[in-house]
Amino acid sequence: MVKNSTPAKPKRRSPITRAEGEQRLVDATIQLIRERPFSEVGVREIATVADVNHGFVHTWFGSKNDLLIAATRQLVEQAAAKVADVAPGQQAIDPMNPDIQLAIRLAIWLDLEGANPRNVLQEMPIITALSQRFIEVDGLSPAIAQVAAAQATAIGIGTVIFAPLIDMDSPEKVAQIFSLWRHNLGLLAKYPPA
């Protein structure tokens, strides 16, 4: 009996779920925008890296900017998830972390492009995580903790944006900024506003 010498066809990869495809696209986006300017990263390239048909970017996200907003949201959520694990007295979020810096730069760029990343920043899980930390670790009331978390976030964003311009971009100099902030938190806990 003679065997057929025709090579077998490669198996087709099984279809992916929408959730898996969206996650692949977000992960590929983050990978590419770490390497190059946001404006130079295209939808087709993102889809190729994600191994997903480029048409799904528009089907699942609506636009490249919406995909970039989803990438920003993922970076912010990852940072927020780490807040509870930081020891008391330590800086909860490191503004020198490249992913934090990427999320902030991306949100600003999206805003300048006319996209609306505000929902990522206004409903920021970092503010929620910091608020909870300020309540549990620093003993602040929920109302004061919410305002303190918004202020800490603004200070962090300002540090990422402006610290290099005023020669405050070394980890030691940034630590000074947050050391003063920790002191202010202690004062808020001890002497809450009336």
Sequence spans of domains, the chain: 17-62, 75-190
Each residue of 52-73: pLDDT tens digit?
Answer: 999 999 999 999 999 999 999 9
**Which are the contacts of 172, defined by CB distance < 8 A and separation ≥ 6?**
none
Does the structural domain 17-62 have CATH classification 3.30.70? Answer: no
pTM here is: 0.77
The first and second tokens of residue 66, run together, are 């919406």
Which strand (E) or helix (H) includes residue 55? helix 55-60
Each residue of 138-185: pLDDT tens digit?
Answer: 888 999 998 888 888 888 888 888 877 888 777 787 778 778 877 887
Picking from 117, 122, 123, 126, the residue whose alpha carbon sits closest to that of residue 99 is 126
